[in-house]
Amino acid sequence: MSKLWAGRTVGATDKTANDFHSSIRFDARLYRQDIQGSIAHAKMLGKQGILAQDDVEAIVNGLCELLADIENGKIEFSPDAEDIHMNVETLLTQRIGDAGKRLHTARSRNDQVATDTRKYVKTAIDELDGQLKALLSALCNKAEQHLHTLMPGFTHLQHAQPVTFAHHLMAYAEMFRRDIERLQDCRKRVDVCPLGSGAMATTTYPIDRVATAAELGFAKISQNSQDAVSDRDYCIELCACLSIVMMHLSRFCEEIILWCSSEFSYIELDDAYSTGSSIMPQKKNPDMAELIRGKSGRVYGDLMALLTMMKALPLAYNKDMQEDKEATFDAIDTTMLCLEVFAPMLATMRVNVEVMRAACDKGYMNATDCADFLVRKGLPFRDAYKIVGELVAKCIELDVTLDNLPLAEYQAASPLFDESLVQAITPEQCVAGRNAPGGPAPEAVERHIKAVRGVL
């Protein structure tokens, strides 16, 4: 096959070099965006009088037929045509003749690929937005079921204060809500049309870039042709956003993995999202959660690949930038796959309410409330803190909990303690009393769920 760029060079490209140079094996997925961009470009050329209407009609009809054939599996792309742009143009020219050769007037593959990739990323962000909102909905549903399910809250993986399972889940809801906001903000910077920038210095033809951008659904056009063809900030920003999504998923998966263990037994994953062992018949492994945790590193790697690829490139386009697509596509595919598995895994997991509640009796998690009891009686907090610390040491010595420590021991430490202490430091009361916005009290969490549902 004769190269569309043939003329300057003589002789055939070495086969190994040709395969190395070709990107069709991964940019073939841009076929729809490439054809849509070519249709919009051809229509604009016709309106501007740059192409005859007969040629425009032949191009548009030919491209529509080609799109249908690709989607019906009737087309096999050739690595000899290098990339999706040259494959489409070659196939079109084979079908409609010279009119196909006129399609590339007033554009370059440099602005073409930038346009295609931006359109693809916009669509991907919209799909990711939908997946994250579905996950938020699943979190709200699960939280509503467990507004009164007590569990230990942790800092440093040590028992800290009692919370509810709903409150713990809604912490992740906040993380994923921020992820949605980040992606939506990223989309604003993706929504810029570079078509018409040419190879790097626009064109002498009287094109209408605004019309082309509108036809393709872009909010605005790029303002500098060199930047337009060499900008991959939007790919980097997207991968950064997806790295944060994956970090949040990984944190959540780490907790799920811990909660599934015999040491915790807080939850049990549905069999549909678990696996067994090839040798140990008793095993039920949280492999989906472990895989998601592992795949976070893969998306981080995609981000680092893009940053490293771009870090020393002079203006404008350089062939290095062909490396943008595999990393970007992989980050999108990996994150989407993880979200697709994670949401139903969460929705179907069984919560061991009694085990979580029993764990609240360990670790002296009501110590802060015990100190607050004294503060409400007028004692400075630091003095109350010291007294309760000494009481915890006494509990450890006697092998009892704060709930079971005799009132006489409390009153020996401070005469401010009285019989009302018993009710004040139950885990239920410790949680119910924390009704401030953002707190774990059922009423506070209910308000939070309502606010998140408002976003959805």
Which residue in the list 2, 156, 262, 420 is annotated as catalytic?
156
How far apart, in whole angstroms, are the C-alpha atoms of residue 227 and residue 218? Answer: 17
Give the DSSP letter string of 161-209: EEEEHHHHHHHHHHHHHHHHHHHHHHHHHH-EE-TT-TTTT--SS---H
Handedness of CA 317, 320, 326, 329 (dihedral sign): negative
Decide: helix, strand or coil at residue 225.
helix
38 is catalytic: no
277 is catalytic: yes
CB-based contacts of 178, cutoff 8 Å, min separation 6: none
Name the nearest CA neighbour of 448 among 164, 256, 132. 164
42, 51 in Cβ contact below 8 A? yes
- Cis, bond preceding 316 (omega within 30 deg of 0): yes
Instruction: From residue 416, give the alpha-carbon distance in Å to each of 87, 375, 376, 419, 420.
Output: 84, 10, 10, 10, 11
288, 349 in Cβ contact below 8 A? no
Which residue in the list 230, 250, 277, 278 is annotated as catalytic?
277
Q: Is 9 exposed, middle or buried (0-12, 13-18, 19+ CB in 10 A)?
A: exposed
Q: What b/e readout covers 263-280, taking b as 16+ CB neighbours within 10 angstroms?
A: ebebbebeeebbeeeeee
- Amino acid identity at 320: D
Give the DSSP letter string of 312-368: TPPSS--GGGGGHHHHHHHHHHHHHHHHHHHHHHHHHPEE-HHHHHHHTTSTTTTHH
Q: Is 315 exposed, middle or buried (0-12, 13-18, 19+ CB in 10 A)?
A: exposed
Name the nearest CA neighbour of 259 among 356, 142, 148. 356
Decide: helix, strand or coil at residue 158.
strand
Name the nearest CA neighbour of 243 among 310, 338, 133, 326. 338
Positions annotated as catalytic residues are 156, 277
